[in-house]
Structures are given as structure tokens and as C-alpha cells.
Amino acid sequence: MQCRGLLFHPDDDPADIVVIQSGERMFQNRETEEVRFVLDALFAVLGDGVYEAAYPVMMNACGIRLDA
């Protein structure tokens, strides 16, 4: 998702996420349902570990190098 510019906070509702450059919705209706399904499944299995998994990806996308 990072490579395709589809980064967002896991707590954000996918229906409310817009592409900054255009202001258009990032996900269409069917995609929104799929993203919600995947996020629900991730939280069911990982709990707050979802945030830990997303953190290094987001920092990398922002150009921030994390210590190993």
C-alpha cells in the first residue's frame, strides 16, 4: 500500500480518506467495504499490534529512518 500511496491511519474511516492532490475519495464504495473488512480482521488478530506494524512503514514513507 505504501508503494501505491495508499497510506492512512488505521483508525480513520476509509470512506473519509481523500487524495490530497485531488480531494477525491481514495477508495470507492466497494473498496471502502474491503478496507474495513481487512482492518477489522487485522485488529481481531493483532489488536493494538496493528499500530506497531504500521509505524515503521509510515516513518519510512515520511523519510524518517528508524534505528535498527
* Choice between 7 and 51, residue whose per-residue pLDDT is larger: 51
Q: Would you kindly state where each structural domain of the chain is located, as residue ranges?
A: 2-61
What rounded mean pLDDT belongs to the chain?
Answer: 90
Give the pLDDT score at 50.
95
Measured CA to CA, the distance from residue 66 to residue 57 in angstroms comes to 10
- For range 27-47, the mean pLDDT: 96
How far is CA 37 from its chain centroid? 13
Give pTM, 2 decimals. 0.78
Q: Does the pLDDT of residue 4 top 80, yes or no?
A: no
Q: Which residues contact 56 (CB under 8 A, 6 or more apart)?
A: 66
Closest to 6 measured CA to CA, from 31, 42, 30, 43: 31
What DSSP line would sit under 23-55, residue for residue? --BSS-HHHHHHHHHHHHHHHHHHTTHHHHHHH
